[in-house]
């Protein structure tokens, strides 16, 4: 009994972590579709055979091998990997070698359950003898998603830069989609255009990512924005503007959120979802913040060896954050003169907003930091409504609602919670229609501001 227990825990520490990707197939789950493809392009540029797995096709498997108490993204991604491996095994027959694959499942520290997905998925994979040797490659927000051991040491820094840039460009392509689609001249034209553009940009990352040819990538992006602009019918009047906050997987995975942005657009909205770069910036920013706290504390206690180590961390993570800001600004500066796309929030500004209004603290962590401050920003920027999209029972999103709903009621700004668990709720569309009625009333009274 003891031996078995030890063996199980050994699997968690030995088969979940950071492994060299050389000569492996690196399986990327599709969260945000564009982001997954661009990141795959960045990996490929560094010689990693990365591929995006089909998503949501294996939901039945995901539900079969979870108890129902897990967060919904855990069920979806468990289904994705099982579905992929089963199909791959059928395709290759005896040639299937589980050691050739590494499944990508990052994690996050903190009080909620994201840190446990990959452990749970390890247990599920271990329950299939044929999949036991499939490793789970994990990055953690604990060290701001450093890539220790996964990519050759000499390339790791450059890869991190290309990967971050792929996140920023994916955000911009998404913003382009939401900016054009409600105003398109020809119905359905935007979806096809964005799908083609995504493939073009993924190729661009594959060609220029490792060479740090960021200007070449931006040249391509400019062409795409110019082309996309031509799809807009200038005679369609501006629509009411809605901001989306919430849990990162659910708000960006269109299958899981039952394409809520398209539904809001169908009832007359223009929508802006919070970006993914904001989350990456937040994890880096938080490392700097924590190091500053450690530095102050240890300075007071005269522990100078620790002071030195915290100083090093501040410089290292601070340098990363500065680099991220420079790249983010570079990208938005190239596209904003062409089309008025929504910008990104600085995390330092979001923290100041929370402190100023005494709403929440970065000390408590989780996405609630970004969602609560993000709603305040949408409010200040004159949005006509805010939607909080999250998995049923998600802790940070429930905290967000409990803090922000009374404020939104007081400010008379329409606010809607939409939790998802994979079931289709018959009343959902009626709720969204009612919400959109309130949004339109707000728009009539207050108009809307331009994207800042």
Cα–Cα distances in Å, from 139 out to 103, 146, 215, 304? 11, 7, 28, 30
Contact 420, 427 (CB under 8 A): no
∠ CA 452-190-185 to the nearest 5 degrees?
A: 90
Torsion angles phi and psi, residue 25, rounded to 5: -95, 120
Interaction residues for ligand SF4, span 259-318 (CB under 6 A): none
Cα–Cα distances in Å, from 80 out to 62, 76, 150, 421? 7, 6, 22, 16
Question: Which of these ranges, 307-315, 379-387, 391-399, 406-414, lies near ligand SF4 under the rule CB under 6 A?
Answer: 391-399
Applying CB under 6 A, among 243, 396, 414, 419 the residue interacting with ligand SF4 is 396
Contact 168, 134 (CB under 8 A): no
Which C-beta is closer to ligand SF4: that of 112 or that of 413? 112
Question: Which of these ranges, 124-132, 143-151, 163-171, 387-395, lies near ligand SF4 under the rule CB under 6 A?
Answer: 387-395
Least distance (Å) between residue 107 CB and ligand SF4 = 9
User: How would you class 75 by CB atoms within 10 Å of its CB: exposed for 0-12, middle for 13-18, buried for 19 or more?
Assistant: buried
Which C-beta is closer to ligand SF4: that of 393 or that of 438? 393
**Type and span of the H or E element at 101:** strand 101-104
Residue 399 contacts ligand SF4 per CB under 6 A = no
Which C-beta is closer to ligand SF4: that of 123 or that of 430? 123
Least distance (Å) between residue 389 CB and ligand SF4 = 11
Interaction residues for ligand SF4, span 319-378 (CB under 6 A): 367
Least distance (Å) between residue 32 CB and ligand SF4 = 15
**Type and span of the H or E element at 304:** helix 304-335
Question: Which of these ranges, 32-40, 274-282, 351-359, 390-398, lies near ligand SF4 under the rule CB under 6 A?
Answer: 390-398
Least distance (Å) between residue 70 CB and ligand SF4 = 8
- Alpha carbon of residue 220 to chain centroid: 23
Residue 71 contacts ligand SF4 per CB under 6 A = yes
Least distance (Å) between residue 86 CB and ligand SF4 = 25
Please give the residue whose beta carbon sits closest to ligand SF4 in the complex: 112
Which C-beta is closer to ligand SF4: that of 33 or that of 113? 113
- Alpha carbon of residue 174 to chain centroid: 12
Quote the radius of gyration of the chain (alpha carbons, Å). Answer: 22
Least distance (Å) between residue 66 CB and ligand SF4 = 13
Contact 401, 417 (CB under 8 A): yes
Number of residues that bind ligand SF4 (CB under 6 A): 11
Interaction residues for ligand SF4, span 212-241 (CB under 6 A): none
Which C-beta is closer to ligand SF4: that of 37 or that of 113? 113
Least distance (Å) between residue 363 CB and ligand SF4 = 17
Applying CB under 6 A, among 201, 394, 399, 404 the residue interacting with ligand SF4 is 394
The 8-class DSSP code of residue 274 comes to P
Least distance (Å) between residue 73 CB and ligand SF4 = 6
Which residues are CB-neighbours of 431 under 8 A, at least 6 positions away?
A: 416, 418
Residue 395 contacts ligand SF4 per CB under 6 A = yes
The first and second tokens of residue 210, run together, are 């490792």
The first and second tokens of residue 4, run together, are 């078995």
The 8-class DSSP code of residue 247 comes to -
Characterize 190-218 residue by residue with b for buried, 16 or more Cβ atoms within 10 angstroms of its Cβ, and e for exposed. beebbeebbeebbebbbbbbbeebbeebb
Which C-beta is closer to ligand SF4: that of 204 or that of 388? 388
Which C-beta is closer to ligand SF4: that of 47 or that of 110? 110
- Helix then strand then coil, in percent of the chain rounded to 5, is 60, 10, 30
Residue in this structure with the two tokens 């003169």, named with its chain if needed: 337
Residue 181 contacts ligand SF4 per CB under 6 A = no
Contact 355, 289 (CB under 8 A): no
Residue 247 contacts ligand SF4 per CB under 6 A = yes
Which C-beta is closer to ligand SF4: that of 171 or that of 247? 247
Residue 58 contacts ligand SF4 per CB under 6 A = no
Which C-beta is closer to ligand SF4: that of 45 or that of 121? 121
Interaction residues for ligand SF4, span 93-152 (CB under 6 A): 112-114
Contact 306, 294 (CB under 8 A): yes
Residue 385 contacts ligand SF4 per CB under 6 A = no
Q: Which residues contact ligand SF4 (rule: CB under 6 A)?
A: 71, 73, 112-114, 247, 367, 391, 394-396
């Amino acid at each position: 009994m003891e031996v078995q227990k030890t063996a199980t825990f050994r699997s968690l520490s030995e088969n979940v972590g950071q492994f060299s990707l050389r000569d492996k197939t690196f399986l990327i789950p599709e969260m945000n579709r564009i982001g997954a493809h661009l990141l795959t392009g960045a990996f490929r540029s560094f010689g990693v055979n990365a591929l995006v797995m089909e998503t949501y096709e294996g939901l039945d498997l995901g539900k079969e091998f979870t108890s129902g108490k897990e967060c919904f993204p855990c069920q979806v991604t468990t289904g994705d990997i099982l579905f992929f491996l089963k199909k791959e095994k059928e395709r290759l027959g005896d040639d299937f070698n589980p050691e050739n694959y590494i499944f990508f499942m990052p994690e996050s520290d903190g009080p909620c359950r994201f840190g446990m997905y990959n452990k749970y998925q390890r247990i599920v994979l271990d329950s299939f003898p044929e999949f036991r040797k499939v490793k789970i490659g994990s990055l953690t927000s604990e060290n701001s998603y450093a890539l220790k051991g996964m990519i050759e040491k000499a390339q790791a820094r450059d890869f991190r830069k290309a990967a971050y840039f792929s996140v920023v460009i994916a955000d911009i392509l998404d913003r382009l989609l939401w900016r054009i689609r409600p105003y398109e001249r020809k119905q359905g034209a935007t979806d096809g255009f964005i799908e083609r553009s995504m493939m073009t940009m993924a190729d661009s990352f594959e060609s220029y990512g490792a060479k740090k040819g960021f200007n070449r990538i931006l040249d391509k992006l400019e062409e795409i924005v110019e082309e996309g602009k031509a799809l807009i019918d200038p005679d369609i009047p501006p629509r009411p503007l809605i901001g989306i906050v919430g849990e990162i997987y659910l708000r960006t995975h269109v299958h899981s959120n039952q394409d809520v942005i398209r539904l809001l657009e169908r009832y007359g909205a223009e929508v802006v979802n919070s970006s993914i770069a904001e989350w990456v910036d937040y994890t880096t920013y938080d490392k700097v913040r924590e190091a500053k706290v450690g530095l102050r504390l240890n300075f007071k206690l005269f522990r100078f060896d620790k002071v030195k180590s915290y100083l090093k961390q501040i410089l290292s993570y601070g340098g990363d954050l500065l680099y991220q800001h420079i790249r983010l600004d570079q990208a938005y500066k190239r596209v904003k003169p062409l089309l008025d796309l929504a910008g990104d929030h600085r995390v330092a500004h979001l923290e100041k907003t929370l402190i100023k209004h005494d709403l929440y603290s970065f000390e408590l962590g989780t996405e609630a930091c970004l969602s609560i401050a993000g709603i305040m920003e949408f409010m200040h920027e004159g949005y006509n409504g805010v939607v909080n999209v999250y998995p049923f029972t998600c802790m940070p999103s429930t905290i967000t609602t409990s803090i922000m709903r009374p404020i939104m009621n007081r400010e008379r700004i329409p606010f809607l919670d939409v939790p998802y668990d994979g079931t289709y709720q018959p009343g959902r569309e009626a709720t969204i229609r009612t919400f959109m009625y309130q949004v339109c009333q707000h728009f009539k009274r207050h108009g809307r501001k331009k994207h800042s």
